Amino acid sequence: MIRLALLLVLFSASTSARSLDTSYPLTVTVVSSHVNILCSPGCVYYLGIHALVNGRHLEMQSEKPTWLRLLVLGDYKAKLVSDEHKKPYFFQQAYEFQYPDGATEKFSVIGESK
């Protein structure tokens, strides 16, 4: 009976791990990490990153204020959560990252470069 319960737990864990992978289909490579400070009149800190997403060089900023923390460089799972094109030459995008511990964070695209 204990073996059956253990097998069920292992099977459900592997199934949920596979479903997490498919819900975050992109691999985003973070190549730099910094803190953005916005002051008016008080100061608020945001996590800023430069990332490579499908060959595009994007600058992103966390949507929620943070306190002086940086993101370790490397690959993260992500998904596109907002993609607006009100005119053919303007766009607004946001991505949600999934960290290795399962936590998530949203980042707005604030810049693009070649």
DSSP assignment of the chain: -HHHHHHHHHHHHHHHHHHHHHHS-EEEEEEEEEEEEEESSSEEEEEEEEEEETTEEEEEEESS-BSS--PPSEEEEEEEEEEEEEETTEEEEEEEEE-TTS-EEEEEEEEEE-
Tens-place pLDDT, residues 16-52:
454 456 899 999 999 999 999 999 989 999 999 999 9
Residue 5 lies in a domain: no
pTM of structure: 0.79
Residue 16 lies in a domain: no
Tens-place pLDDT, residues 4-26:
443 444 444 444 454 456 899 99
Task: Identify the domain containing residue 74 by its residue range.
Answer: 26-113
**Total domain count for the chain?**
1
Give the pLDDT of residue 105: 97
Residue 8 lies in a domain: no
